């Protein structure tokens, strides 16, 4: 009476699952890049901004790091419509994930700014660099190297986090796995194939990020 | 060298995890005699499907299905242990013997019956359209338009029917019935085509909305049984007899009326021969 794995019952659904993986990747990219931009602005304000701006950023980071992403998206998806703001499922999830990622990426980028040595800035000033030149030739090359590995890690986390979108009617990989499971009842087969797709997706992303890091910033990133 | 070693270690770990994932090993469902010997009947119910099963005020699993499961355990003469299950884990839970059978709106379909064995029906499931009143969403034709969005719960048996009979409508797949109802109330979707048996219970939090529920006979009626591991004949045969007795003495109908605020829309035609 032990369970017999029969993959042939679900292999016909693999193209459907792969289309969901594409949506997963899109959602991860959008939320990561918006989150990165939010984090960059926030980190700059934390390091260089006036006190009210620093307090506002602190409040944002504290709120989004200390509440679950599920609750944040639930608020955007179900509470905002009662205030007259009706967003599509995709937009609600993308905004929720971006705001959440923004909080983590604020902290990551603040740490990167913090790693900048005073002597480097003094040297730039001694050479008569303008603010733009200082940022372009001194600040960016330094923090890019320091920040690239944690940023790449955060991107992989974003890929995994997209699975939460299934709860909010976005048909990404996990949502589609649930659909196929309910149709076939082949939970072990469906979710093991889904797991393999996630592994391949994250390995592909890691490889791409490692190559990009070596090419752009000469970061010696490892995949395995 | 270090890279190669880490690659090998990583690969070995992945292979071990894969082997554990792909090989259920000694997992096996318990036949009737093992259930009796263990002096414990383990039943899986889904508490996110009220009033079939729910968490009550004392945070205990309660509802129609736990009540029927308790009646079955009494007939068997063993204590009942309820286990909360969800959509993805319910079949592996049965197959591995962690639970002896699963409830949770187990609508019988030929596709699902390839994986799990069903007992005779416990209750019927009747289908219809749920919409805000006065909008004219009362027929399948009125829903079959691109501007119509149907809010549905992921994994329900109505979804393949919608793909076939209402192909022009958009479908919004949500996680549970309260979210489905909220989506319609907020205007995110216009209607839902689904089981209407539990609709009175699930609409209680949305009293400010004027709802309209229209039964759709052409879809037909589905029947939910108890899900038993494939080929666990001894337990399934006994459950069929127990369910027949519980239908005949009115236990199941009484539990249904208590939890669903009314009689079963389509009576289960029980038969002594199965």
**CA distance, residue B117 to nearest chain A CA (Å):** 11
Nearest-5° Cα angle at A38, A94 to A150:
90
Which CATH fold would you assign to the domain B32-122+225-260?
A: D-Maltodextrin-Binding Protein; domain 2 (3.40.190)
Q: Tell me what pLDDT residue A164 has.
A: 95
The lowest-confidence range among A64-78, A108-122, A204-218, B15-29 is B15-29
Q: Tell me what pLDDT residue B267 has.
A: 92
CA A72 – CA A89 distance, rounded (Å): 13
pLDDT tens readout for residues A44-81 = 999 888 999 999 999 999 999 999 999 999 999 999 99
Residue of A71, A69, A47, A72 lying closest to A57 (CA atoms): A47
Q: Tell me what pLDDT residue B86 has.
A: 85
* Burial of B152 (C-beta count, 10 Å sphere; 0-12/13-18/19+): buried
Q: Tell me what pLDDT residue A100 has.
A: 97
Does A218 have pLDDT greater than 80? no
Does A89 sit within 8 Å of B154, measured CB to CB?
no
The A-side interface with B (CB below 8 A) comprises: 1-5, 9, 78, 81-82, 86, 89, 166-169, 171, 175, 177-179, 181-188, 190-192, 195, 199, 222, 224
Percent of chain A with pLDDT over 90: 70
Would you say B186 and A84 are in contact if contact means Cβ atoms under 8 Å apart? no
Which CATH fold would you assign to the domain B125-221?
A: D-Maltodextrin-Binding Protein; domain 2 (3.40.190)
Instruction: Give yes or no for B1 touching A (CB within 8 A).
Output: no
Would you say B172 and B246 are in contact if contact means Cβ atoms under 8 Å apart? no
The per-residue b/e assignment along B126-149, b for 16 or more CB within 10 angstroms, e otherwise, is: bbbbbbbeeeebbebebbeeeebb
List % helix, strand, coil for chain A (3-state, nearest 5): 85, 0, 15
Does residue A223 belong to any structural domain of this protein? no
Would you say B144 and B167 are in contact if contact means Cβ atoms under 8 Å apart? yes
pTM of the predicted structure, to 2 decimals: 0.79
Task: Find the residue in A nearest to B176 (Cα).
Answer: A167
Q: Tell me what pLDDT residue B13 has.
A: 44
Does A2 sit within 8 Å of B155, measured CB to CB?
no
Does residue A1 belong to any structural domain of this protein? no
Domain with CATH 3.40.190.10 in chain B: 32-122+225-260, 125-221
The encoded tokens of residue A143 equal 């923090």
Query: Which pLDDT band, with edges at 50, 70 and 90, does A136 fall under?
Result: confident
Instruction: Give yes or no for B19 touching A (CB within 8 A).
Output: no
**Least CB–CB distance from B28: residue in A1, A186, A192:** A1
Pairing assessment for the beta strands B170-174 and B149-153 based on DSSP bridges: parallel
Does B111 sit within 8 Å of A78, measured CB to CB?
no
Does residue A2 belong to any structural domain of this protein? no
SS3 of B44, please? strand
- Chain B residue numbers touching A178 (CB-CB < 8 A): 87-88, 154-155
CATH number at residue A41: 1.10.3720.10
Residue of A69, A143, A124 lying closest to A101 (CA atoms): A69
Task: Find the residue in B nearest to A82 (Cα).
Answer: B186
Domain that residue A130 falls in: 7-217
**Least CB–CB distance from A185: residue in B115, B159, B160:** B115
Instruction: Give yes or no for B34 touching A (CB within 8 A).
Output: no
Does B22 sit within 8 Å of A167, measured CB to CB?
no
Q: How far is CA A125 from CA A48, A119, A137, A198, B91, in A?
A: 17, 10, 12, 48, 68
Q: How far is CA A36 from CA A23, A63, A97, A102, A142, in A?
A: 20, 17, 11, 6, 17
**CA distance, residue A123 to nearest chain B CA (Å):** 38
- How far separated are the first and last CA of chain A, in Å rounded? 40
Does residue A222 belong to any structural domain of this protein? no
Q: Tell me what pLDDT residue B9 has.
A: 44
Does residue A143 belong to any structural domain of this protein? yes
Domain count of chain A?
1
Mean pLDDT by 10 residues, chain B (274 residues): 44 44 59 96 93 93 97 98 88 88 88 91 94 94 96 88 93 91 94 91 87 87 94 96 96 95 89 82
Q: Tell me what pLDDT residue A41 has.
A: 94
What's the mean pLDDT when you consider all of chain A?
92
Does residue A25 belong to any structural domain of this protein? yes
């Amino acid at each position: 009476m032990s369970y017999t794995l029969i993959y042939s019952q679900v292999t016909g659904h693999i193209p459907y699952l792969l289309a969901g993986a594409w949506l997963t990747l899109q959602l991860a990219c959008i939320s990561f890049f918006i989150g990165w931009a939010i984090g960059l602005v926030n980190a700059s304000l934390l390091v260089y901004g006036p006190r009210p701006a620093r307090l506002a950023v602190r409040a944002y980071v504290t709120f989004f790091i200390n509440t679950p992403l599920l609750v944040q998206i639930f608020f955007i998806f179900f509470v905002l419509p009662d205030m007259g703001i009706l967003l599509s499922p995709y937009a609600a999830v993308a905004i929720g994930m971006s705001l959440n990622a923004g909080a983590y990426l604020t902290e990551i980028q603040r740490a990167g700014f913090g790693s900048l040595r005073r002597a480097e800035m003094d040297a730039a000033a001694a050479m008569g660099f303008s603010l733009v030149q200082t940022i372009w030739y001194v600040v960016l090359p330094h923090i890019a190297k320091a920040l690239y590995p944690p940023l790449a890690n955060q991107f992989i986390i974003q890929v995994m986090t997209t699975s939460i979108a299934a709860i909010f009617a976005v048909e990404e990989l996990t949502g589609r796995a649930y659909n196929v499971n309910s149709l076939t009842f082949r939970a072990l087969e469906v979710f093991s194939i889904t797991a393999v797709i996630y592994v391949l997706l994250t390995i592909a992303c890691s490889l791409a990020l490692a190559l990009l890091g070596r090419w752009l910033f000469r970061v010696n990133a490892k995949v395995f | 060298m270090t890279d190669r070693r880490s690659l090998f270690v990583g690969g070995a770990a992945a292979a071990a995890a894969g082997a554990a994932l792909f090989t259920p090993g000694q997992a096996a469902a318990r036949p009737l005699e093992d259930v009796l010997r263990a002096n414990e009947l383990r039943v899986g119910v889904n508490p996110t499907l009220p009033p079939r099963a729910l968490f009550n005020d004392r945070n205990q699993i309660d509802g129609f299905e736990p009540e029927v499961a308790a009646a079955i355990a009494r007939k068997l003469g063993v204590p009942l242990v309820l286990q909360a299950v969800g959509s993805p884990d319910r079949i592996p839970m049965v197959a591995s013997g962690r639970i002896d059978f699963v409830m949770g709106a187990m609508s019988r379909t030929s596709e699902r019956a390839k994986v799990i064995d069903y007992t005779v029906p416990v209750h019927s499931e009747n289908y219809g359209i749920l919409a805000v009143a006065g909008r004219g969403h009362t027929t399948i034709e009125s829903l079959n338009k691109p501007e119509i969005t149907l809010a549905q719960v992921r994994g329900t048996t109505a979804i393949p029917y919608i793909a076939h009979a209402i192909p022009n409508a958009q479908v919004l797949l949500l996680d549970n019935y309260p979210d489905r109802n909220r989506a319609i109330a907020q205007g995110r979707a216009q209607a839902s085509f689904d089981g209407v048996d539990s609709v009175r219970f699930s609409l209680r939090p949305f009293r400010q909305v004027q709802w309209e529920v229209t039964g759709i006979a052409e879809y037909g009626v589905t029947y939910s049984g108890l899900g038993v591991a494939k080929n666990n004949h001894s337990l399934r045969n006994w459950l069929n007899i127990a369910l027949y007795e519980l239908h005949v003495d009115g236990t199941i109908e009484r539990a249904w009326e208590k939890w669903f605020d009314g009689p079963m829309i389509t009576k289960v035609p029980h038969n002594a021969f199965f």
